[in-house]
Amino acid sequence: MEMEKSFFIAVMAIFALGAWLINNWIRAKHGYALEDSWGRKVEPSNTAEAERLKAENKALHDKLDAMQDRMIVLEKIVTDRGYSLADEIEALRDNRRFDDTGGVPLNLAKKERV
């Protein structure tokens, strides 16, 4: 009988500890003040550091958004039908003779595609 009481007390203590941890996790996730073991509110000690990190995080997110916009533009340029880099490279391979200026002439006439 004594063993059952000890087990019940241990289970209740573990349950209370788990509920307290879950409560503090939810409060921290949503930005509320945390509680100590006696139920008193505990504020973070270095809020200036947290504000600096938030500002840095926002700046990095803005930079990432700008980079994603640039990447979209680059993808549109590369996948555009008018983009003829492959044709220009093939023209350079086909025409290996030099003209009077010492350069390689480019035959950029569009080839018929099948």
pLDDT tens for residues 41-55? 776 667 788 888 899
Residue 109: inside a domain: no
Mean pLDDT over 19-24 rounds to 87
Predicted local confidence at residue 68, as pLDDT: 95
Residue 70: inside a domain: yes
Residue 102: inside a domain: no
Residue 110: inside a domain: no
Residue 106: inside a domain: no
Residue 86: inside a domain: yes
114 pLDDT tier (thresholds 50, 70, 90): very low
Residue 74: inside a domain: yes
Domain count, the chain: 1
Range of the domain at 43: 2-94
β-strand partners of 34: 42
Rg of the chain on CA atoms, in Å: 34
pLDDT digits (tens, 9 = 90+) for 69-106: 999 988 887 777 666 677 777 777 766 555 555 555 56
Residue 61: inside a domain: yes
Predicted local confidence at residue 41, as pLDDT: 76
28 pLDDT tier (thresholds 50, 70, 90): confident
Distance in angstroms (rounded) separating the CA atoms of residues 34 and 112: 71
Token reading at 60: 């990095």
Per residue in 20-32, is it b (16+ CB within 10 Å) or e — as a string? eeeebeeeeeeee
